[in-house]
Amino acid sequence: MSVERAHRMSHAVDAAAPAAVLYALVADTTQWPLLLPDSIHVERLDFDGTTDRYFQWAVVDGIPQPSLWRRTLDARRRRVDFRAERSGAPVTTTGGSWRVEELAPGWSRLTLEQDVSVTAERAVDAERLLASARAGARTTLDRLRAAAEGWRRLDGAALSFEESVRIQGPAEPVYEFLYGVSSWPGRVPHVVRAEVTEESPGVQHATVVNLAGDGSAYTTEAVRVCFPAAGRIVFKQLRPHALLSAHTGEWSVEPDATGVTVVARHDVLLDERTVERVLGPDADLARARRFVREALGAESRATLGPAQQHAQESVRSLRSV
The pTM of this model reads 0.90
- The whole-number pLDDT of residue 241 equals 87
Each of the 321 residues of the chain gets a pLDDT tens digit; together they read 455 577 788 999 999 999 999 999 999 999 999 999 999 999 999 999 899 999 999 987 778 888 999 999 999 999 999 999 976 656 678 899 999 999 999 999 999 999 888 776 556 666 777 787 788 899 999 999 999 999 888 888 999 999 999 998 889 999 999 999 999 999 999 999 999 999 788 999 999 999 887 888 989 999 999 999 999 999 999 988 889 999 999 999 999 988 999 999 999 999 999 999 999 999 999 999 999 999 999 999 999 999 998 888 766 554 544
Q: How many CA atoms lie within 13 A of 3 on its CB side?
A: 9
* CA 315/CA 321 separation, integer angstroms: 10
Pairing of strands 232-237, 217-227: antiparallel
92 closest CA partner among 73, 67, 72: 67
Enumerate domains of the chain plus CATH numbers: 3-149 (3.30.530.20), 157-320 (3.30.530.20)
Neighbours of 214 (CB within 10 A): 5
CA 239 to chain centre: 12
* CA 190/CA 180 separation, integer angstroms: 16
* CA 193/CA 239 separation, integer angstroms: 16
- The whole-number pLDDT of residue 162 equals 97
Please state, in angstroms and as integers, the Cα–Cα distance from residue 309 to each residue in 21, 84, 177, 185, 191, following that order. 46, 44, 10, 15, 17
- The whole-number pLDDT of residue 63 equals 80
CA 199 to chain centre: 17
